Structure 1
Amino acid sequence: MTEARQTDAVIVPTGGAGRIPHGLEIVRSDEAQLMLVTGVDREVRPAEFAAEFEASMELMECCVTLGFEAVDTRGNATEAAQWVKDKQVRSLRLVTSDWHMRRAAGELRDVLPTNIRVIEDAVHTEPSLFTLFLEFNKFLASWISRAWPG
C-alpha cells in the first residue's frame, strides 16, 4: 500500500459484480476507514448485506453505510456528496466497473468540492459490446448535461 492510495473513505455504487467485495477489501486492509455503498435497494437490511458479502456486523456498524436514496449514477453522486460532507471526508476512492468509471467519476466530481481528492479504482470486467454501446451513450448524455446545464 502506498500513501497515495490511502483515503478516508470508499464510495461504491451498486450495479456491477466485484464492486462491493473490492470496496470491503479496501476497508479491511485499512486503506480507508469508511465505506458508502450507494444505490442499495430499500428492501436490503444490513444483516442481509453482511451475510451476502461475508462482512461482520462489527464492520458494518463501524465502517459501512448503506445508501438507499440513489437510483442512477447521478443519484449515486448526489448521495455520495452529501455523505462526504456529513462525514467530513477529504479523500476517497471511487470503486466501480472499468466501463462505468469515466461517467461515475465525472458525475461525482461535478458535485464534490474541488478540495476532495478522488482516486479512481476500477474493477476489471469483460463487458459485452452492447454494454459498452449503452454506456457510451449514457456517458455522452451525462457529459452534455454537465457541459451545458439547463
Structure 2
Amino acid sequence: MFRRFVAFIVLIWLFGFLWFAIALPGPLAADVRTDAIIVLTGSQGRIEHALKVLEAGKAPDLLVSGVDREVRPREFAVQFRVPQRLMKCCVTLGYRAYDTRSNAIEAAQWVNEHGAKSVRLVTADWHMRRAALEIGREFPNDVRLERDGVPSHPSLGALFLEYHKLLARAALNLWEAL
C-alpha cells in the first residue's frame, strides 16, 4: 500500500514537471492593451520586449522591477536605446527588488501609486507561472494581470529548479490559507 502511494506521488510529480516544461506560457496577443507594463529583470529579451510593447502604445507606463542599484537612468536608456522622451514620461526603474518575491511587492506598490487596473507582466516563459503567482498575491483583486511570456531556451536544470520553486510557493500559499 505504501509503495503504491509513493509511486502515485512520484507520477503526479513527474507529470506535473512534464506539463511545466512542455507547456511554457507564451507571448500575449499583440493587440492587448493594458494600463501598465511590468517587466522583471533577468534573462535576455525581457526588457527589450517590454520596451517594444511600450513604444507600440499598448500601455502608457512601464515599471522595470529589479534594476541593479548601480544602474543610472541614463545608462539604462543608452543600453536599451530608449528615447529620452520615453524615459521621462513612461519608464520607472525599480531598485527595491532583488528576487521574485520582492518584485511582487515593488510591483504592487507601483500599481497602487499609478492606479492601474490592468497590467501586462513580462518575464521569461519559464519564470512566468511563479512570477504571476507571487504578483497575484500582492495585487488588489480588481487588477487584471495579463501574462506575456518571453520565449527562451531554459536548460533542464533551470526548469527543474523553477518547478520546485513554484511547488514550494504554491504549498506555502496553501499553508497560509489554512
Q: Normalised by the size of structure 2, how large is the TM-score?
A: 0.81
Distance 1:60 1:147 in 2: 40
Distance 2:169 2:44 in 1: 23
Q: In the alignment, is residue 38 of structure 1 matched against residue 72 of structure 2?
A: no
Partner SS state of residue 30, structure 1: coil
- After superposition, the C-alpha distances for 1:69-115 in whole angstroms (9 at most, x for unaligned) are 01100100000000000011111100000000000001001110111
Structure with greater Cα Rg: 2
Q: In the alignment, is residue 17 of structure 1 matched against residue 44 of structure 2?
A: yes
Partner SS state of residue 39, structure 2: strand
Indicate the structure with greater helix content: 2
Equivalent residue for 2:87, pick from 57, 60, 74: 60
For residues 1-150 of structure 1, the aligned pairs below 5 Å read 1-2=30-31, 5-149=32-176
* Paired residue type of 1:105: A
Runs ≥4 residues deviating over 2 A: none
Partner SS state of residue 148, structure 1: helix
How far apart are 1:145 and its partner, in Å? 1.7
How far apart are 1:149 and its partner, in Å? 2.4
- After superposition, the C-alpha distances for 1:105-150 in whole angstroms (9 at most, x for unaligned) are 0100111011101110000001000110111111112112222129
Percent identical residues: 51
Partner SS state of residue 100, structure 1: helix
Distance 1:57 1:145 in 2: 43
Distance 1:56 1:101 in 2: 28
Q: What runs of 5+ residues in structure 2 fail to find an aligned partner?
A: 1-29
* Paired residue type of 1:27: L
Distance 2:84 2:176 in 1: 42
Q: Normalised by the size of structure 1, how large is the TM-score?
A: 0.96
